[in-house]
Amino acid sequence: MDLRIKGDLALVVGASDGIGAATAKLLAEEGARVTVVSRNAADLAEAAAAIGARAIAADITDPAAVEALHRAWSAQDDRLDILVVAVGGSHRSAFEHLTDEDWRANWEFNILSTVRVVRAFLPQLRKAPGARVVLFGAASSRMPYPEQIVSNVHKAGHLALVKTLSAELIGEGIRVNAVLPGRTVTRLWRRRAEAMAQQEGTTPEAVLARFAKDIPLGRFGTAEEVADLAGFLASPRSAYIVGQSIAADGGIARGLL
């Protein structure tokens, strides 16, 4: 499917690895002019070079870094057609062991950092005819996982963020939607599987195989499979989809909604 995004200006945040990187690659292959953002400048430069993108290193949990990112972007480009923010993650801990700081840090990671980036780029999104914003919740936005109360709360709040933000911006022609990935093999899961394997005296592959058993499709997703949905939502091909959080999760979230 031609996504009809040739020449569109795209900013993908969280794009040196994982789902963000796969989304940036897809957008670049479809002819968008892509800028990628993440913290580690060396990893980012490598990821950008691989897809012919521009790189701007920034930590979006830091307000000053988001301002600097916005300044760097604005020095070269005036409008923004596609904004993708693929930063966030789960926090595994029983409720009683979580500190206020754990709650605040995960809020920053999953919600406030995304809010900050969207807010900073609103003037540029307004200048694009029919801009698209694609954010990332998780299967846990709809189906809380045991022992992940802090990220369950914030990923559920992400549904409200997407719906409310969408309602505010659609009148200006800016479409906001989100992808809800299930268990997807990225750095996030590779690291988790390695840590659990060490604790349990087993292999990361055995850990991943155990977690795959809960997935109706019987396997983890790939970053590319999730990026296919993100790319569609980032394109005019999804023109009638507004304010939705859509799963690409192998069926793991079993609720009706």
Q: Contact between 76 and ligand NAP (CB under 6 A)?
A: no
* DSSP-based helix, strand, coil % in the chain, nearest 5: 50, 15, 35
Q: In sequence order, what are the beta bridge partners of 248? A: 181
Among 10, 12, 15, 143, interactor with ligand NAP by CB under 6 A: 15
Helix (H, G, I), strand (E, B) or coil at 92: coil
Binds ligand NAP (CB under 6 A): choice among 89, 144, 204, 236:
89
Neighbouring CB atoms inside 10 A of 198's CB total 12
Measured from the CB atom, is 126 or 222 closer to ligand NAP? 222
In whole angstroms, how far apart are CA 9 and each of 80, 127, 152? 5, 11, 33
Among 69, 136, 162, 232, binds ligand NAP (CB under 6 A): 136
Tokens of 147: 């022992």
Q: How many residues bind ligand NAP (CB under 6 A)?
A: 30
Write each residue from 107 to 126 as x if it is in contact with ligand NAP (CB under 6 A), else as -, in one continuous string.
------x-------------
Here the tokens at position 229 are 């949905």
CB of 53 to ligand NAP, least distance (A): 12
Query: Using the rule CB under 6 A, which residue among 56, 88, 152, 243 binds ligand NAP?
Result: 88
Query: Could you say which residues in the range 167-206 bind ligand NAP, by CB under 6 A?
Result: 181, 183-184, 186-189
Residue 92's φ and ψ, nearest 5 degrees, are: -95, 115
Minimum distance from residue 76 beta carbon to ligand NAP (Å): 19
Least distance in Å: CB of 200 to ligand NAP? 19
What is the x/- site pattern for ligand NAP, positions 25-64, by CB under 6 A?
------------xxxx--x---------------xxx---
Q: Does 250 bind ligand NAP (CB under 6 A)?
A: no
Q: What are phi and psi of 83, to 5 degrees?
A: -120, 120
DSSP code string of 65-133:
HHHHHHHHHHHH-S--SEEEE-------B-GGG--HHHHHHHHIIIIIHHHHHHHHHHHHHHHSTT-EE
Of the candidates 34, 138, 227, 252, which one interacts with ligand NAP according to CB under 6 A?
A: 138
188 exposed, middle or buried (CB, 10 Å; 0-12, 13-18, 19+)? middle
Residues 209-248 that bind ligand NAP (CB under 6 A): none
Question: What element of type H or E holds 46?
Answer: helix 41-51
What does the binding site for ligand NAP look like in residue numbers (CB under 6 A)?
A: 13-20, 37-40, 43, 59-61, 86-89, 113, 136, 138, 181, 183-184, 186-189
